[in-house]
Amino acid sequence: MQIQNKTSNRILNYLIMKRLLLAIVAVCTMTVANAQSSNSQQKPPKMDAATMAQKQTDKMTKDLGLSSDQATKVLALNKKYAGKIGPMGGGPGRHGKHGQCANCKNSDGTTAASQSNDNSRPQLTDAQKKEMDAKMKEDKANRDAYNKELKAILSSDQYSTYEKCMNNCNGGKHKGCKNCDKHK
């Protein structure tokens, strides 16, 4: 009888351990699956220039109260400057060969992460500074040209609201102006 009890206890313990192991594997699998799905949800889908221009135009139509004729002209303008300025084309945060983030390579093949052990910004080379200055001048020229053409399309009140919105949005460097409706 005692041998049968020991055998049945061993079988019972084996089954309990097997179930426990299966439960642990199931929890780990669900955790990994959840982590993968949350990572994919964090990255918004990339939009092409035409879609970005349309979204920007829709926002401006809503915020500035554009007529259908103005909206058509603004859409054409936004498509013309898509990829060149503001929300449609990046700005200071866009990636390039500037060497300031961990993944971008400098001209010598090193990265900012490999150059700096502390949290300070890496020093730019003279060539990088010239390239950055040229790009900033180009960006400013594109923004000025865009604003000049936009001013010809909008009424003075609409353009004033647009300028206030852009100033409150730090030059349009982030998505949307939460205060635009308050400027009207």
User: pLDDT digits over 36-75, tens only?
Assistant: 766 555 666 777 888 888 898 999 999 899 999 999 999 9
The amino acid at residue 93 is G
The amino acid at residue 40 is S
Find the helix packing angle between 126-153 and 68-80, rounded to 10°. 160
Q: Give 86's pLDDT tier (boundaries 50, 70, 90).
A: low
Is 18 strand, coil or helix? Answer: helix
Between 66 and 35, name the one with better pLDDT: 66
* pLDDT of 127 strictly over 70: yes
Q: What percent of the chain has pLDDT over 90?
A: 21
Are the CB atoms for 60 and 66 separated by under 8 Å? yes
Q: What is the pLDDT of residue 148?
A: 93
pLDDT tens digits, one per residue of 11-31:
888 888 888 888 888 888 888
Q: What is the pLDDT of residue 41?
A: 55
Q: What is the pLDDT of residue 95?
A: 42
Q: Which residues of 137-147 are buried (b: 16+ CB within 10 A; e: fewer)?
A: eebeebbeebe
**83-103 average pLDDT score:** 49
Query: Measured between alpha carbons, how far is 184 from 165 in angstroms, rounded to an integer?
Result: 10
Between 145 and 44, name the one with better pLDDT: 145
* pLDDT of 93 strictly over 70: no
**139-151 average pLDDT score:** 91
